[in-house]
Each structure stands twice: as C-alpha cells, then as structure tokens.
Amino acid sequence: MSIQKKMLSELKQKEIFYQAQNYAFEYIDNLETSRVYPNEENLAKLKVFNETLSEKGKTASDILSLLHSKGSLGTVKHTGGRYFGFIIGGVTPISIATKWLTDLWDQCGGLYVSSPINSELEVVCEKWLVELLDLPKESIAGFVSGGSMANFSAITAARYHILQNLGWNVNKKGLNGAPRIRIITHEQIHASIRKNLVLLGFGDENIEYLPSDSQGRILVNSIPKLDNSCLVFLQAGNANSGAFDDFDAVCKMANKVNAWVHIDGAFGLWAAASKELSYLTKGIEKADSWALDAHKTLNIPYDSGIVICKHPDAMANALQATGEYIIYTSKKRDPMLYTPEMSKRSRVIELWATLRYLGVQGVDEMITTFHARAKQIEQGLRELGFQILNEVVFNQVLVACDNEAKTKKILDYIQKSGECWLGGSTWHGKTVIRISISSWMTTESDVAKTINVFERAKNN
Ligand SMILES: *Cc1c(COP(=O)(O)O)cnc(C)c1O
C-alpha cells in the first residue's frame, strides 16, 4: 500500500486519534498518584528511543504505544499540583481541549489570508490584555513563542524607535556607525534580557548594571541622568524572590526625557490582573513595552508569550525589517508584522479560550490563589523552623536551613521522593530551595503534603 493510501485510511478510520485520546486520559488520571519527576529507573527506559531509523517505517499505532508506555515515563508532571520547579505553570482544561481541536486545524498564523480566525482572535486578545493589565489603549500585541521572544521583539522596537529619534534608520543603515544607545538595567535582571541584548548586537560590556536591594529590586537612587538615547529594563517578578521593581518612580524619570522603558514581566506582570496584588505593578502603564508569558502564570500550553508595545509603528517597522517605512498589505491584521517569525502556529486561540473561560474575575482568582498558596507554604515551613529568605509578595518562596549542607541534603531528599519537585538556586551567595507556585491545580492539600515532605526530610 502506498504511504498516501495508508495515511488516508488512518484519517478516515480515526482509530489512532482515539488511541491517542485514551492514552492522554490515562496520563491525566494518573497525574496525582504518579511520580512528579522521573526516577533513574524510568529515565533508563528512555534508551529504547535510541534506535536507527527503520527502512520501512513503523505503524502509527506502534508509535503512539511506545510514546505512551515509555516516553511518558520521561515527562515532568508540571501539569499536576505538586510541581514547584522554575515557574512553568500548568494547563487549564479549556486551553488544552482548545489546543486539541485547533491542532487538527493546523493554522498558519502569519497572514490574515492564511488564517482569518487566528488574525481575528489576535485582535480580540490584544484588546482584552491591554484592558486586563490596564495598559495604554494604543498599545499593540504580538503573540510569540515565549518571554524571550517577547523581550527580543520589544528590544528591536526600542532600538528602531530610539535610533529613529536620533536621526538614524537602523533598518537601512544597521548598527555600524549608529548613534550610541545607553542600556541601563540592574544586576538582578533576568538572563533573557542579557541574551537578547547580545543577540541584537549591543554587547554585554555595554550594559550598565545598577545595584539592587535585598529583594532584588533596582535601587532607584542609583539611576544616572537619563536622556532619549537610553533604554531601561525593569522587571515584574524576580525569578528567585518574585520581587517587583519600582516602575512608577523609574518611569516618571524616563518619561520626562523620552527614554524607553521595557518591563520584563514574564510571570509577574499578571499580578496587574489581581485586585489584591496590583499594587505591585503600580506605574507599569508609564512604560513603553512589556513582555509576558501566557504559558507560565496563565497556564496556557507551551509555547505562548506576548509582547505589548505602546508605539505601534516602531514595533511594526522593526519587525517588518525592510528598510522602508512599514507597508500594510491588507486592512486586516497580518500577524507577521507583530513578531519576528513569518509562519507560526495559531497559539493565540488557546489564550483566547482561557481568557474567555475565566473572565476578569477568574483570572484574578487564579493569580491571587497562587499568592495564597505561597503564603501557606511560607507559614508551614516557618513553623517547622526553616528560614524564609524573601518577602513572599507573589508566588515565590526561598527556603534555607541553618547551613548549606543541610539545605542541599533536604533538597536532594525532596527531589528523590518524587512526591513533589522543586529546584535549587542561589540567593545572595547562599544555596536555597526555590519554590514557585504557578499551577491552577495546586490545592491547599497539595501544599500540606509538600510541607509534610519537608518535615520528613528534616527528620531524616
Ligand atoms: C521565564 C522568564 C523569561 C524567559 O521566558 P521564556 O518563556 O522562557 O522564553 C524572561 N524573563 C523572566 C523574568 C522569566 O521568568
């Protein structure tokens, strides 16, 4: 049978889709009882994938079966309630169901003509997000693969805008011989900003790193005299402590002289959508661009990031990347003018589905609950005699014992237990256990169980 005939029959009979569905349901049903992180024995089973590519190919059913029986053993269960590593987030049921449905649509979201529904929903989500986060009405949004690409896109817009104001068209002339852009940030900025600045030709040595305080917030009184050649990076949510910079104070200084302020708010910017926590994001609307992740705090499937920019022409010109001023090819939205990519998957549909499902109150509740769980674990661990090294303002809790060796031993015990997973980090030179609450699945009882594991680790 020809490959075409074989595939046509699979598509008609649909058995492989049902097979995949059954496996996926089994995975979900075991989520709460299986190990959060694979043990050595499970990892060893991944060796079966190390095979030579066969001459004749394998059956679809065999492939799905292998993935389910062996591949799933190598997954990290961050969609469950007891994964606290990094800040990865879970998935809302509506977003994953939407992804299933729309995966079969396989839309190419680069142009209006290649997917009208994708373009329409980008416009809708742009409006919803700008309102939800209370950003300037004229802002536009691009839907990219994550926080890194969101930062990348914003930096290209800033670079274009600043140089244009200094009489230099960077699209035409490039960076060689361009007026100097001053890059100002602080030592606790996320590595993604540094990486993108290097990728975009600014060079690590040209970044001015200002000092930060005990929580990792920029020291406002260390900011030098700014002017319109300055690009300033601030952070909503320090990846260790969860701390937020003083946006209001810094933006006021920048706005007076037309310096560009970008806020990396990959997981933290969502605090703006919580009534209880929005004091943390005071003044963000005075910035010029923002980056955030839907795949982290909003619990959308990977990969899903958002760049928002107050200067539509700067972003569209920078990302169209022709020498000339932007040419709009259609009156409808062509998403490739808002992102570095041309072809891209229609990831915005899952974001739209989750926002529509939760509504303003639901988003608020989900985000506020992360904070409540973080406070619960903070209190529980304090009662057990652990040290908490940060002010728990959002979803991050940094834990340490009296000495480094003990901290490492406890981290190792917890990671091996498989009952929950959390990572290590260093904070002001000290080894810490880093807890991030970012899955809607995490219940009070998940937190109680986790505190229990800490207690056992301590007495072990
Ligand atoms: C995660 C993160 C990033 C990078 O985002 P990706 O989605 O991983 O590309 C950037 N900044 C901060 C503060 C983050 O937490």
174: left (phi over 0), alpha (psi -120 to 50) or beta: left
Task: Choose between 332 and 230: higher pLDDT.
Answer: 230
Phi, psi of 107 (to 5 degrees): -80, 145
Ligand 1 centroid – CA 403 distance (Å): 30
Name the residue at shortest CA distance from atom 5 of ligand 1: 147
Take residue 436 and report the two structure tokens written for it.
């991030």
CB of 155 sitting under 6 A from ligand 1? no
pLDDT classification of 215: cutoffs 50, 70, 90: very high
Secondary structure class of 435 (helix, strand, coil) = strand
Secondary structure class of 185 (helix, strand, coil) = strand
Rounded to an integer, the average pLDDT of 12-27 is 97
235-252: string of b/e by CB count within 10 Å (b at 16+)?
bbbbbbbbbbbbbebbbe
pLDDT of residue 320: 87
- Distance (Å, rounded) from C-alpha 442 to C-alpha 87? 13
- The residue whose CB lies within 8 Å of the most ligand 1 atoms, and thus the one to mutate among 86, 148, 299, is 148
Name the residue at shortest CA distance from atom 6 of ligand 1: 147
pLDDT above 90 covers a percentage of the chain that reads: 96
Question: CA torsion sign, 220 to 224 to 227 to 233?
Answer: negative
pLDDT of residue 329: 65
Concatenating the DSSP letter of every residue in 264-332 gives E-TTTGGGGG-TTTGGGGTTGGGSSEEEEETTTTT-PPSS-EEEEES-HHHHHHHHH--SSSP----SS
Rounded to an integer, the average pLDDT of 196-218 is 97
Which residue bears the tokens 């960077």? 170
Q: What is the tens place of the pLDDT at every residue in 60-70?
A: 999 999 999 99
pLDDT above 80: residue 327: no
Ligand 1 centroid – CA 237 distance (Å): 10
Ligand 1 centroid – CA 267 distance (Å): 7
Within 10 angstroms of residue 74's Cβ, the number of other Cβ atoms is: 13
Helix, strand and coil content of the chain, in percent to the nearest 5, comes to 45, 15, 40
185 within 8 A of 207, measured Cβ to Cβ: yes
Ligand 1 centroid – CA 307 distance (Å): 12
Q: Helix 60-69 vs helix 15-30: angle between axes, to the nearest 10 degrees?
A: 0
pLDDT above 80: residue 330: no
- Distance (Å, rounded) from C-alpha 325 to C-alpha 109? 23
Which residue bears the tokens 């320090």? 238
Compute the half-sphere exposure of residue 299: CA atoms within 13 Å on the CB side of its CA.
Answer: 27
Which residue bears the tokens 């809302």? 92
- The residue whose CB lies within 8 Å of the most ligand 1 atoms, and thus the one to mutate among 78, 186, 190, is 190
pLDDT of residue 76: 96
Q: What is the tens place of the pLDDT at every residue in 399-427?
A: 999 999 999 999 999 999 999 999 999 99
Q: What is the tens place of the pLDDT at every residue in 245-256?
A: 999 999 999 999
Q: What is the tens place of the pLDDT at every residue in 354-366?
A: 999 999 999 999 9
Q: What is the tens place of the pLDDT at every residue in 44-81?
A: 999 999 999 999 999 999 999 999 999 999 999 999 99
CB of 266 sitting under 6 A from ligand 1? yes
pLDDT of residue 331: 83
Q: What is the tens place of the pLDDT at every residue in 306-316?
A: 999 999 999 99
Q: What is the tens place of the pLDDT at every residue in 244-295?
A: 999 999 999 999 999 999 999 999 999 999 999 999 999 999 999 999 999 9
Which residue bears the tokens 């001015």? 208
Take residue 392 and report the two structure tokens written for it.
């728990």
Rounded to an integer, the average pLDDT of 331-352 is 94
pLDDT, averaged across the chain: 96
Name the residue at shortest CA distance from atom 2 of ligand 1: 266
